[in-house]
Chains A and B, each alone.
Chain A
Amino acid sequence: MNKKRLTNISTLLADYSKGNFSKTMEVSDELDEIDSIIMGINMLGEELKETTISKNIFENIFNSVSNILFIVNKNGVIVGTNNYGKKFNSIRINKTLFSDICNIKRVENAFNYLVKHKGTKIESELTTSTDKKIFTEISIVRFSHPAKYEEDNFLIIAEDITEKKEHDLQIIKAIIKTQEVERQRVADDLHDSLGQELSSIRMMLSAINREAISPSNIDIINTCNSVLMSSITELREICFDLMPASLASSDLLAIIKELLSATLIKVKYSTNSKKLPLNKEETLAVYRVFQEFINNSTKYSKAKLLTINFNLKGDKLEINLSDDGVGFNMKSTHWKGRGLMTMKNRIHSINGHFSFDSIIGEGTHLKIIITCKN
Chain B
Amino acid sequence: MKIENNYIKYEIINDILIGTYKAKYIDLDIAKSVVSLRKKFTNNLKYPVLIKDNNTVKIDKSARDYFASDAGAQGINAVAVIANSVYKVTLMNFFIVVLPPKMPVKLFKSEEKAMNWLEKHKVIFHE
Given contacts A39-B90, A39-B91, A47-B98, whether A31 and B57 have CB atoms under 8 Å apart is yes
**B94 touching A40 by the CB < 8 A rule?**
yes
Q: Return chain A residues, CB-CB under 8 Å to B58.
A: 27, 39, 42
What residues of B have a CB within 8 angstroms of the CB of A44 in the complex? 94
Is the CB of A50 closer than 8 A to any CB of chain B? yes
In the complex formed, the residue of B with least CB distance to A29 is B57
Residues of A within 8 A of B60 (CB): 46
Q: In the docked arrangement, what's the CA distance between A37 and B91, Å? A: 9
> In the complex, are the beta carbons of A36 and B61 less than 8 A apart?
no
Give a binary string over A314-332; 1 marks a CB under 8 Å from any B CB, 0 the rest: 0000000000000000000
Contacts of B87 in A (CB 8 A): 27, 31-33, 35-36, 39
**Quick one: given A36-B91, A39-B91, A40-B94, are A46 and B85 in contact (CB under 8 Å)?**
no
**CA of A34 to CA of B26 in the docked complex: distance in angstroms?**
21
Chain A proximity of B117: nearest CB distance (Å): 24
Is A32 touching B61 in the complex (CB atoms < 8 A)?
A: no
Q: Does any Cβ of A come within 8 Å of B86's Cβ?
A: yes
> CB distance A47 to B61 under 8 Å?
yes
| A33 lies within 8 A of B86 (CB) | yes
Residue A43 at the chain B interface, CB threshold 8 Å: yes
Return the 4 tightest CB-CB contacts between A and B, nearest first: A36-B90, A46-B61, A31-B87, A36-B87
A43 vs B60: C-alpha distance when bound (angstroms): 7
Q: Assuming A35-B87, A36-B87, is B61 touching A50 (CB within 8 A)?
A: yes
- Distance in angstroms between the alpha carbons of A89 and B94 in the assembled complex: 44
Q: Mark B82-119, 1 if CB is under 8 A from A, else 0.
A: 00011101110010001000000000000000000000
Q: Which residue of A has the minimal Cβ distance to B95?
A: A43
17 additional contacts (CB under 8 A) given A32-B87, A43-B94: A27-B57, A27-B87, A31-B85, A31-B87, A35-B87, A36-B85, A36-B89, A36-B91, A37-B90, A39-B58, A40-B94, A42-B58, A43-B61, A43-B64, A43-B91, A43-B98, A47-B98
